[in-house]
Amino acid sequence: MTEETKDTMEPVTPRNFAEYARDGGCPVCGSDNIEGDSFDTGQGEVGQEQFCGSCGAGWYAYYEAAYYGGLHDTTGRRIFIEGESTDLTETS
């Protein structure tokens, strides 16, 4: 990141931090040169420490499930949930 970029970029706020992170860019410099460690899981959460290869900023990204699917029992037999399509050829 150049000094000129530092002088002209907007300050990091919770809102633009989330927008950059969602779009895959660095919330500090906007670069798409992002690297991440392995995913951490626990108690319904998934997270990943991420770093910007351009400016060196680091942060922790948390992810949440958009939906659940593919429920099955211990034998692998599919369990259908009320309201879920039973058409196994249907894609969403």
**pTM summary value:** 0.54
Closest CA relative to residue 46, chosen from 66, 28, 27, 69: 66
Of the CA atoms within 13 Å of residue 49, those in its CB half-sphere come to 5
CB 28 within 8 A of CB 52: yes
Q: What is the pLDDT of residues 4-55, one digit of tens each?
A: 445 555 666 767 777 776 777 888 888 889 999 898 888 778 889 999 999 9
pLDDT for residue 80:
77
Structure tokens at 89: 């050829």
